[in-house]
Structure 1
């Protein structure tokens, strides 16, 4: 997927409870999407926050992520396996527009189609962004990320391979099949919804087996 991710972490409200300009800009990216956003259903009552949107070269929003639970810290910031790592419980839901192969906006080429593999890759890379090994030297991080990102793509391109299992989770109340895998850093899953989107998810400290997904009724409430 040739998209550009734009960080839009949830910003604090301005004094007096008014929405801050940065929070407004964050939610605007989500509001421009021509597809519905997904998150955990109402059974999850913890914090939720906007993370990032990915855009095509013409600025069209193609995917984005919504976080649930504890905002995760990069695992390198503390020793893996310590109390902080044990306490972090989060799940991130990635929504990807289901697009077929199509012409670019300028008509000069074709844009890559999106699929469940696209959602699996975005979820896998998302998990990596919070989980690089705690004992790794900073100078080696880029090489490690490049290698692991390539591995995430290879895994996402082989969803029927031995590294994945399957499970059924509710999406808008309908049992839906998902591809699922675990690693030492957390878990990743990917599937599709009936609303014209593919869904990816990743997390740590929260069991994937108890999750359920639903359309976000008003994404502006997360700003």
Structure 2
């Protein structure tokens, strides 16, 4: 799969460096817009048909400070607290991941080569993102690390096989233009990935909101999410 070294590097726990969610309980209002404003590519979110809350998540930057990808949230902020009985069933959210489409290129410090990014990169980020907000209620803290490692590796393998049997295709509007997406469902939620016409690959994941009714568009004012 073409990625930026598993999308800008991968930690020992299997998640891309810098993509871990903020600590539990940190509200979106405390996440700043600064990193988003430094991105050399447009950010995407749900289009105007979605009228619910919108919130910032996080961006990932390279060692030289170049923003590589990031996410924006829509709806209820998801919780991974298993002790909140039925919380996951009540949550309705969708997260949109934006990652620029890049060819093979040199790293910012000129010391190496970064692999290209692709739709599979967006699928991987979306799949691992969904897992970051998933925690089976019957599982204790000690076992969650092993579970997350296993599930994250599975998400990586699925993202590397977008033409495989685990994915279907659907057409969703991007800036008003029907666009094909790869789509899959799991017990944790849904994941989809495709490309916008502006040189950006899009990933998305969510629960409670049907992916079939979504549309995406460029965010004209990212500060409105803060």
Distance 2:103 2:122 in 1: 14
Q: Please report how far the alpha carbon of residue 137 of structure 1 lies from its aligned counterpart in structure 2 after TM superposition.
A: 1.6
Bigger Rg, structure 1 or 2: 1
Runs of 4+ displaced beyond 3 Å: 6-12
Q: Please report how far the alpha carbon of residue 108 of structure 1 lies from its aligned counterpart in structure 2 after TM superposition.
A: 1.8
1:222 aligns with 2:225: yes
Distance 1:162 1:147 in 2: 20
Distance 1:31 1:106 in 2: 22
Distance 2:28 2:80 in 1: 18
Q: Please report how far the alpha carbon of residue 10 of structure 1 lies from its aligned counterpart in structure 2 after TM superposition.
A: 5.4
1:66 aligns with 2:72: yes
Q: Please report how far the alpha carbon of residue 57 of structure 1 lies from its aligned counterpart in structure 2 after TM superposition.
A: 2.2
Runs (5+) with no aligned partner, structure 2: 1-6, 10-16
Pairwise CA RMSD of aligned residues?
1.5
- Could you tell me which of 152, 156, 159 is aligned with 2:155? 152
Q: Please report how far the alpha carbon of residue 196 of structure 1 lies from its aligned counterpart in structure 2 after TM superposition.
A: 0.8
Contact 1:99 1:113 in 2 (8 A): yes
Distance 1:46 1:164 in 2: 28
1:203 aligns with 2:216: no
Distance 1:130 1:165 in 2: 23
- Could you tell me which of 100, 105, 112 is aligned with 1:109? 112
Contact 1:10 1:49 in 2 (8 A): no
- Number of aligned positions between the proteins: 209
Residue deviations 1:137-168, cap 9 Å, x none? Answer: 21011111111111100000000000000000
- The alignment's TM-score, normalised by the length of structure 1, stands at 0.89
For residue 136 of structure 1, what is the aligned residue in structure 2?
A: 139
Q: Please report how far the alpha carbon of residue 2 of structure 1 lies from its aligned counterpart in structure 2 after TM superposition.
A: 2.1
Residue deviations 1:40-82, cap 9 Å, x none? Answer: 0000010000001011222210111000000111152334xx3
Runs (5+) with no aligned partner, structure 1: 13-21
Contact 1:97 1:196 in 2 (8 A): yes
Worse-matched range after superposition: 126-135 or 182-191? 126-135
Q: Please report how far the alpha carbon of residue 221 of structure 1 lies from its aligned counterpart in structure 2 after TM superposition.
A: 1.6
Distance 1:66 1:50 in 2: 5
Worse-matched range after superposition: 39-48 or 68-77? 68-77
Secondary structure (helix, strand or coil) at the match of 2:147 reads helix
